[in-house]
Amino acid sequence: MEDPVPDEMIQCIICEDWYHTRHLGTEVPSNNFAEMICESCVTKHDFLLNYDSYSMVKPARITEETNVDVTSDTKQPIDEIKTGEEQTKNENSDYCKKPKQKSLKVCAKFWPNVNWRKELCTCDDCLKMYENEDVAFLLDSEDPVHLYEEKGKAKAQEVADDHLQQQMNSIPRTQLIDCIAGYNDLKERLGEYLKKFAENKKIVREEDIREFFDEMNARKKQRVNQVEVSHFCR
């Protein structure tokens, strides 16, 4: 049943599910945003809470939200979270640059642009965590839309391949071999037939294609008759 309530739908960049804005559990920013991560994914990948300072948090709520330092029991306002560059200038890949402060506000997150991805720590431990949680693609801040399209194409191809494999498995082996042989024969003969038109720079007409398939059907009937005669002789 179609939803009668007019409402915009937004896609999460991690799970790729679509949500009505009223179902996100938080207020959608009035300003334009580039990316959204739903509450379910924020809960599942809670390291994102360490990067909450880069999300679109309303100023009125900043003073209300506090962040727990994972190394101590002190609390600090979210607007005082320091970036990785402010924490250290050490470029050693073994040094974790993830902000030490972690937001307590678990909800859908909105990002004004893709630059927040560049702030993600790339130390060995964090890289391993991204791989384990299957979110390593977040490190790509150049063209995320292209990445989503590639993932979608890969999923579609996987489904198509599975469906084709199921269909092939349901066909008896002898019939499957005949189908493959027939396809290869059609491909070869059609290529040879069209090659003549290309060499003579002639336009392929509908009548030419019909003539080609009439000849193919005639050859097929001839082969069937030969098989029947051979079977009868035995």
Q: Chain centroid to CA 214: how far?
A: 44
pLDDT tens per residue, range 45-71: 999 999 999 998 654 333 333 444 433
Is 42 exposed, middle or buried (CB count within 10 Å of its CB: 0-12, 13-18, 19+)?
buried
Quick one: how many helices (H) and strands (E) in the chain? 7, 7
Q: Cβ(59)–Cβ(11) under 8 Å?
A: no
Residue 146 has pLDDT above 80, yes or no: no
Q: Chain centroid to CA 109: how far?
A: 20
Is the pTM value of this prediction over 0.85?
A: no
Average pLDDT of the chain? 76
The predicted model gives 198-202 an average pLDDT of 86
